[in-house]
Amino acid sequence: MIKVTWALVAEHMDEWIGDDIAQGAAVIEARVGAVVDASGMKPETREHWRTDLLAPVVDSLRTEGTVALARGQSWSKAAGPLLAFASSVR
């Protein structure tokens, strides 16, 4: 089992537990995306958020996170006010 936790500084914190890191990455992408979409930011600001902050974290989880977890290590990544962390759950 894998636990993925993420936080938007001073806004939101959430977690997901499951077996598939790709699914965990998709959950972060969807849930953080929903928070960004509901934020009231201008469309260009929301796009910047998705492209420059959310995408690098999600992509890193899918690549570097997968490797780290396979080695029994944890993974973390931050971009702006977004921080994500993944580890194995026993």
Per-residue pLDDT of the chain (90 residues; tens, 9 = 90+): 999 999 988 778 999 999 999 999 999 999 999 999 998 999 999 999 999 999 999 999 999 999 999 999 999 999 999 999 999 997
Helices vs. strands in the chain: H and E counts, helices first: 4, 4
For the entire predicted model, the pTM comes to 0.90
Sign of CA dihedral 78, 15, 75, 67: negative
Residue 63 to residues 51, 79, 84: CA-CA distances in angstroms?
A: 17, 16, 14
